[in-house]
Amino acid sequence: MGVDPGLVATGFGVLEAGAGAVTVRDAGVISTATGEPLEARLNALHRAVHRIIELQGPGLLVVEDLYTEYKFPRTAILMGHARGVIYLAARQLGVTVVALAPSEVKRAMTGNGAAGKAQVQRAVQTVLGLKDLPRPSHVADALGLAATGMSRVMGQFPTTVGGRTRGSFSSAAGAQKWPPHSPMSAVDRARLGVDPGRSAVDRARPAVDPVRSAANPGRRA
């Protein structure tokens, strides 16, 4: 499971390696309300990440590491807060965490450690065999983290050659809001056919339609 941390928006993506295929099981964005107190937003982020880990059961959590330099120190501090609660959720559920530098993931996905966001999105789409371009960039970054982390564990990078990776992705996934204090709008519910009576976690599940392998579930990252 890859996580692109942020206080306003945290991208996540879950990959599963099965017999002859790597599947995108889940992906989306966790958003917090900017008008809420910091402690409330961190609590919401922690709860959401904790719930996703519980639901997906990843064997590894891959988090984007902090940059070596920040022009705005406050941004680095807030990012540190967000990463802290993500690490905490993983620890509480016994999941190992690995931090990867953005340049390492970009190099693994595109061959260029200084690649732009659009280039990373296209590379993730190609490598994972996605029907649509993964949007927003937080989702593409999270899937790139998951793919790079999976390559470390398995010693093999996902490839579309011979149908080894399969997946589909709805660009609407990035528009979903998580957790309860940042609900989906009535328009979003109508578009996605979501029942407003369902739980906050269920309401927020992104519109990703994974193509599952016929084999038994395999390793997840």
Q: Active-site residue numbers?
A: 4, 64, 138
173: CB partners within 8 A, 6+ apart: 27, 28, 29, 135, 139, 206, 207, 208
CA distance 129 to 166: 5
74 burial (CB, 10 Å; 0-12 / 13-18 / 19+) is: exposed
CA distance 28 to 9: 10
133: CB partners within 8 A, 6+ apart: 121, 122, 125, 140, 171
CB 26 within 8 A of CB 14: yes
CA distance 101 to 68: 9
